[in-house]
């Protein structure tokens, strides 16, 4: 059912037909119909008003669950603006699925609520997910909370640094960096030897951002590691910290760039492209095969577009 047909049903004012239309839209309608449904929240018939809440919430969840991974950041931002204008009753109905027996529903609901940004009620609900038994939910909750929290909430994030799941720890490190909590530098420094490559990479990046600049030995240790994921992550870190202009990081990219592993080389090239100065671009041109540089550049552009940058 499209907007034109839905409006025709509403204007005819047949309440049974409106209820049937709302149920149909909930199952098959597009996200653009949400605004029309919202207009029924103040309908004098309480059954219609209640069904409007249920249908709006159901439509939003269904649309986002089906296509979440393929939605670009600018589209998610637009959805966030729409969600923030919704009646609180719709948001409350969406939030109920945080306690669904189906883990996938809980995960997607958490992601949808994350679009709402600063909201104390949502923040409290998301915080409760930090102790969930599903590591995906814990990791997602941490990632969402980093945009909702302030320095007073640091203890909540500090707890997840000891989580057994590396995704949760890695997201916790990102959260502390985003919050700019320099007081956490000693705690982060103790994680420089974490067994997981992503955690270790995030720790080194966060330390550098928060003012701890002596990370070169730790990066070199990762670059010399037998695990290709450790080396690839080290390549990524060099691009993140190298953008600040310290030549030592470009030198490391030149020294270790010609790794035997394709993934590692791709991360090295991407980092040189991100640094984007004369030296880094010359290294790209003269050290690597042209085809590898072209692929790395295309992948980097695709990723930045997806993230809305």
Cβ(36)–Cβ(7) under 8 Å?
yes
Candidate from 74-78, 172-176, 211-215 with smallest mean pLDDT: 74-78
- Could you tell me the pTM of the whole model? 0.76
pLDDT higher than 80, residue 101: no
- In this prediction, residue 48 carries a pLDDT of 93
Task: Give the mean model confidence (pLDDT) for residues 66-87.
Answer: 67
In this model, does residue 164 exceed pLDDT 80? Answer: yes
pLDDT at 131: 87
Asked if the model's pLDDT at residue 271 lies above 70, the reply is yes
Q: Give the span between the Cα atoms of 286 and 34, in whole angstroms.
A: 54
What mean pLDDT do residues 109-129 have? 75
Res 117: pLDDT? 61
pLDDT for residue 208? 96
Asked if residue 86 has pLDDT above 70, the reply is no
Question: Given this model, what pLDDT does residue 260 score?
Answer: 95
Do 141 and 126 contact (CB within 8 A), yes or no?
yes
Report whether pLDDT(118) > 60: no
Instruction: Between 68 and 281, name the one with better pLDDT.
Output: 281
What confidence category does residue 71 fall into, taking pLDDT thresholds of 50, 70 and 90? low
CB 97 within 8 Å of CB 109:
yes
Percent of the chain with pLDDT over 90: 51
- Determine the average pLDDT of the residues in 219-224: 98
Residue 79 tokens, joined: 């959805």
The pLDDT of 177-186, averaged and rounded, is 89
Determine the pLDDT at residue 140.
Answer: 87
pLDDT bucket at 17, cuts 50 / 70 / 90: very high
Which residues make Cβ contacts (< 8 Å) with residue 121, sequence separation at least 6?
none
Higher pLDDT, 167 or 154: 167
Of 77-86, 146-155, 220-229, which gets the smallest average pLDDT?
77-86
Q: How far apart are CA 42 and CA 59, in angstroms?
A: 19
Q: Looking at residue 9, what is its pLDDT?
A: 92
| % of the chain at pLDDT higher than 70 | 90
Could you give the angle at which helices 197-209 and 166-179 cross, rounded to 10 degrees?
A: 10
Q: Which top CATH class is 215-309?
A: mainly alpha
For 139, residues 6+ apart whose C-beta sits below 8 A from its C-beta are 165, 167, 168, 170, 171
Find the mean pLDDT for residues 87-111: 75
The two tokens of residue 85 are 């204008």
Of 87-91, 117-121, 205-209, give the range with the top mean pLDDT. Answer: 205-209
pLDDT at 105: 74
Look at residue 254 and tell me whether its pLDDT is greater than 70: yes
Q: Is the pLDDT of residue 309 over 80?
A: no
- pLDDT score for 1: 79
Mean pLDDT of the region 171-183: 90
60: confidence class by pLDDT, cuts 50, 70, 90: confident
């Amino acid at each position: 059912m499209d907007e034109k047909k839905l409006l025709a049903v509403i204007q005819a004012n047949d309440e049974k037909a409106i209820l049937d239309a709302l149920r149909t839209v909930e199952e098959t309608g597009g996200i653009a119909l949400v605004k029309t449904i919202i207009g029924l929240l103040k309908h004098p018939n309480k059954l219609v008003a209640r069904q409007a809440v249920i249908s709006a919430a159901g439509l939003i969840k269904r649309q986002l669950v089906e296509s979440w991974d393929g939605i670009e950041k600018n589209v998610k931002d637009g959805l966030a603006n729409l969600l923030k204008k919704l009646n609180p009753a719709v948001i409350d109905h969406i939030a109920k699925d945080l306690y669904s027996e189906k883990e996938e529903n809980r995960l997607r609901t958490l992601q949808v609520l994350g679009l709402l940004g600063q909201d104390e009620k949502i923040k409290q609900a998301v915080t409760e997910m930090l102790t969930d038994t599903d590591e995906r939910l814990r990791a997602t909750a941490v990632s969402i909370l980093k945009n909702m929290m302030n320095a007073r909430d640091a203890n909540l994030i500090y707890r997840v640094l000891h989580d057994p799941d590396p995704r949760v720890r890695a997201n916790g490190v990102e959260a502390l960096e985003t919050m700019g909590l320099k007081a956490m530098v000693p705690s982060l420094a103790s994680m420089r030897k974490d067994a997981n490559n992503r955690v270790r990479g995030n720790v080194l990046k966060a330390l550098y951002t928060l003012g701890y600049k002596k990370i070169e030995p730790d990066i070199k240790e990762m670059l010399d590691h037998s695990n290709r994921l450790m080396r690839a992550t080290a390549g990524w870190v060099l691009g993140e910290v190298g953008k600040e202009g310290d030549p030592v990081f470009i030198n490391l990219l030149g020294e270790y760039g010609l790794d035997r592993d394709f993934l590692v080389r791709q991360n090295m090239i991407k980092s040189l492209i991100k640094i984007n100065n004369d030296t880094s671009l010359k290294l790209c041109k003269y050290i690597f095969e042209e085809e590898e540089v072209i692929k790395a550049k295309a992948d980097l552009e695709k990723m930045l577009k997806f993230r809305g940058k």
